[in-house]
Chain A
Amino acid sequence: MTSSRDDSQERIAKRDALVSCVKAAQTGDPCAQRELFDRYQHRIMGYCMLSANYDRELAKDLMQEILTRVFTQLHTLEHPERFEPWLWTIASRITATQSSKRQRYRKLLEAWSLEREVLLTQEDKLAHEQRLNHISDLLDGVEDETLHRILSMFYREPPSTTRQIAKRLGIPHGTVTVKIRRFRLAIKKQLIELFVSEQIQ
């Protein structure tokens, strides 16, 4: 119990620190910009390496493009607490043109990014739709029509709450939340398996 509370406090402290850092970086503070850069450089490079099929030079180019976009548009970010989803939306948009040979990998990454993305433009909305289609692909082996309908309503614009979905489909609220939770778990599990198998190879 204590550990859980500590975790929660730690997470809140981290989030507050990130928000302060983003706000400072928005004003052009070079130290804050560097802090943001250092905080995310490993993740972004990893993401770019995966998108570029481990072509390091191409990954560096992608990373430069992503970070240039991030720093030049940072002042337009209205909600600093949404920095990370915003960052991944940009990364996803820029790397989308890299046709990964590992389609399934790409689809899983996009399904994962659905959770965190921010819809910025019409272009992003199209990408969002594409990701939803990828989810459908991932679910193809799953014989659960209700799950398909729940996810479609949950992630589509305008998003519906789990209660609204339950009401519309005439099923218990608990069923909706459990199915969404299981779907997220399945995606995470598949991603972990892919990450691990990629690294072991």
Chain B
Amino acid sequence: MNPPPDDLKTYLHKLDQGTLSPPEREALLEALQRLANQPDEDALLELDLSALVALGNPHSPLSRDEADELFNRVTSPEATRRRPPASSWFKRRAFRRLAGLTTAAAALCALWLWWRTPAPIEHLDPTIKSAQAKLALSLEVFLGERADGQAIVSHTLKPQARVSKEQHLLFRYRLGQPAWLALSARRDGAPAKLLWQSEGAHQAGDFELSNQGQALSMPLRDYPPGPLRITLWAARSPQHWEEIISGLPCTACSSDQLLLTVSH
């Protein structure tokens, strides 16, 4: 196998060492041009192109001071933790980075405040569902009437339906996955009232809300006339469920609600 011509090897070596003079640089380019025009395949294959990338820096190799400074930066213990900003780097990117950092800091503060601020159930927006809240949940509310001490379903209530103080409400729900449940009622200007909470995780399916096997019946006599919001909450874990019970916000929870109007 033919090695690359000696002059080429010498020039490449000098190029790699940063000691190639301008005339030698010209000679190197000429030699390379010759090799490309009349390729000696063996010599070409043997040629270490890796050194050629140094040609990319034709006029301004790093000065000794620049090289020393760079070496100290990249090998200092701080290098593993933080990259010291070069002045040019700072000038070029400072504003963009600063804007990014400010936004990130503001978002973190907002997140921290939101997480730390206890909100009673009445402050919760039940429509808030996070990306995690994929629990399929639906609540059906029925109007019930008492007959022989038993609450009997009369008909399904639609949103904004009017109900009277003498009537009762009964509930059914459909759950896509096992979850911990809680039911709350809230009227305008008053804190939410926890009506019911599950004892452990409920299995998925279509169920009537009940207490110890007996259908949960909610009398409306305790509620003054006005809007009444009934919300069923579902949590994936007991921890999230505890948040609901304690009146803390739970964006990882699912909910379904119905707004009714209580009349005289």
Contact = CB atoms under 8 A, between A and B. Distances in A.
Interface of A: 3-4, 7, 30, 33-34, 37-39, 41-43, 45-50, 56-61, 63-65, 67-68, 70-72, 84, 88, 109, 112, 116, 181, 184-185, 188-189, 191-193, 195-196, 198-200
Majority secondary structure of chain A interface residues (helix, strand, loop or mixed): helix
B67 interface: yes
A121 B89 CA distance: 28
A185 B47 CA distance: 10
Contact of A71 (B32, B45, B79): B79
Given A42-B57, A189-B39, A199-B58, 14 more contacts: A7-B46, A39-B16, A41-B18, A43-B16, A60-B62, A60-B88, A88-B50, A181-B41, A188-B47, A188-B49, A191-B49, A192-B33, A198-B55, A198-B56
B3 A4 contact: yes
B86 A68 contact: no
Interface of B: 1, 3, 15-18, 25, 29, 32-33, 35-36, 39, 41, 44-47, 49-58, 60-62, 66-67, 70-71, 73-75, 79-80, 83, 86, 88-89, 92
B123 to A, nearest CB: 44
30 contacts: A7-B3, A30-B75, A33-B71, A33-B75, A34-B71, A37-B67, A37-B75, A41-B67, A43-B16, A43-B51, A43-B53, A45-B54, A45-B61, A46-B53, A46-B55, A46-B57, A49-B56, A59-B57, A61-B86, A64-B74, A64-B86, A67-B70, A68-B79, A68-B83, A71-B79, A72-B80, A189-B44, A191-B52, A192-B33, A198-B55
Contact of B86 (A57, A67, A112): A57
Majority secondary structure of chain B interface residues (helix, strand, loop or mixed): helix
Contacts of A47: 53, 56
Contacts of A61: 86, 88-89
Given A46-B57, A185-B45, A199-B58, A192 B35 contact: yes
Given A184-B45, A188-B44, A199-B58, A68 B74 contact: yes
A63 to B, nearest CB: 7
A192 B79 CA distance: 36
Given A46-B57, A60-B88, A72-B79, A192 B52 contact: yes
A36 to B, nearest CB: 10
Contacts of A38: 67
The 3 closest A-B pairs by CB, nearest first: A46-B56, A57-B88, A50-B56
B92 A64 contact: no
A199 B92 contact: no
B32 A196 contact: yes
Contacts of A30: 75
A63 B32 CA distance: 26
A59 B86 CA distance: 12
A192 B60 contact: no
Given A7-B3, A67-B74, A196-B32, A46 B49 contact: no
Nearest to B89: A61
Contacts of A64: 70, 73-74, 83, 86
Contacts of B46: 7
A175 B74 CA distance: 47
A26 to B, nearest CB: 13
Q: Which of A49, A63, A109 has the most CB of B within 10 A?
A: A49
A112 B57 CA distance: 19
B70 A60 contact: yes
A7 B46 CA distance: 10
A50 to B, nearest CB: 4
A116 B48 CA distance: 12
A199 B83 CA distance: 32
A56 B60 contact: yes
A138 to B, nearest CB: 15
Nearest to A197: B33
Contacts of B3: 3-4, 7
Contacts of B67: 37-38, 41
B221 to A, nearest CB: 64
B167 to A, nearest CB: 62
Contact of A185 (B33, B41, B66, B92): B41
Contacts of A43: 16, 50-51, 53-54
